[in-house]
Amino acid sequence: MLKLTSENFSRGQTGLILALLIKAGTDRFGMNTPAIRFRCVTRPQVNPDVQWRRSMSKGLPIPAAQRGKIAPQLAHVVFRTPQPEKLVQWYCDVLEAQVSMGNAMVYFLTYDEEHHRIAIARLPGLTEHQPMAIGFDHVAFTYASPDELFATYERLKSIGIEPYWTINHGPTISFYYNDPDGNHVELQFDIQENAAAANEWFEQSDFEVNPIGVKVDAEDLISRYRAGEDTAKLFARPVILPDLVMAQFPAPLEG
């Protein structure tokens, strides 16, 4: 039986831990937690596990626009910090972003057509992160291909920025980094061809037993990819024993 302990939740280890709570309301993972319910004005309350299974069995949910709903797009994320200059430099390095506007209080960064994708605000009286505080866990950025992610990994490594966690989630290969304030940032590429293929993978994989993934060695993965190894086999997530799932989290970080 999988056990969730304080060691599993050390700084840098949260990752996809919320995926384990899909089974909320049971003690499958050694936890006795109340069932989580979600209110929706267009449908009755249902057990989240039942709704999850129902949506998986019927394929992808219908996009909001096709349901006659107003569908927003994610515009930007904002970070509070006592050291904005360090964060600005880090995100410019990692995302190859540029500052579109900045002053003593706030910086706006962009890497595409949007006026800003990242905002970094200097605020007084901030407190340090608590590892298991309620709220935001990480932000993820997707690359168009393995080549783009692997080139980014090597570029960042050359300037001393290395991931603390490299893992095959199944739908994605993901490299996780910590910014200077300890915020978690995921850089990934999609293994599956499209969202429908990813949904099919969820249905046919061992995701219910292992919602975390399997750790990978970035250098080995890149070397084998560039040597021409069959990507269908190279990027396929291995099946591991249930007792090994929690070991796929990164080692605790110092500080």
Question: Domains in the chain, ordered, with CATH?
Answer: 75-125 (3.10.180.10)
Q: Which residue in 200, 242, 206, 237 sits closest to 221, CA to CA?
A: 237
Average pLDDT in the 75-102 region?
96
Distance CA 213, CA 248 (A): 7
Q: Phi and psi of 78, rounded to 5°?
A: -125, 135
pLDDT of residue 179: 97
Predicted confidence (pLDDT) at residue 96 exceeds the cutoff of 60: yes
pTM score = 0.78
Distance CA 254, CA 163 (A): 14
Q: What type of residue sits at position 89? A: Q
Question: Which two tokens mark 62?
Answer: 């219908």
pLDDT of residue 48: 54
Q: 198 by DSSP, 3-state: which?
A: helix
Give 105 or 52, the one with higher predicted confidence. Answer: 105
Question: Which two tokens mark 218?
Answer: 């970035």
- What does the DSSP assignment read for 83-95? -HHHHHHHHHHHH
pLDDT of residue 215: 97
Average pLDDT in the 12-23 region?
40
Q: Where are the alpha helices (DSSP H) in 96-189?
A: 146-158
Predicted confidence (pLDDT) at residue 39 exceeds the cutoff of 50: no
pLDDT tens profile 153-208: 999 999 999 999 999 999 999 999 999 999 999 999 999 999 889 989 998 899 99
C-alpha to C-alpha distances, 168 to 16, 116, 188, 210, 217, nearest whole angstrom: 12, 30, 10, 11, 10
pLDDT of residue 6: 43
pLDDT of residue 33: 37
Predicted confidence (pLDDT) at residue 38 exceeds the cutoff of 50: no
Q: 188 by DSSP, 3-state: which?
A: strand
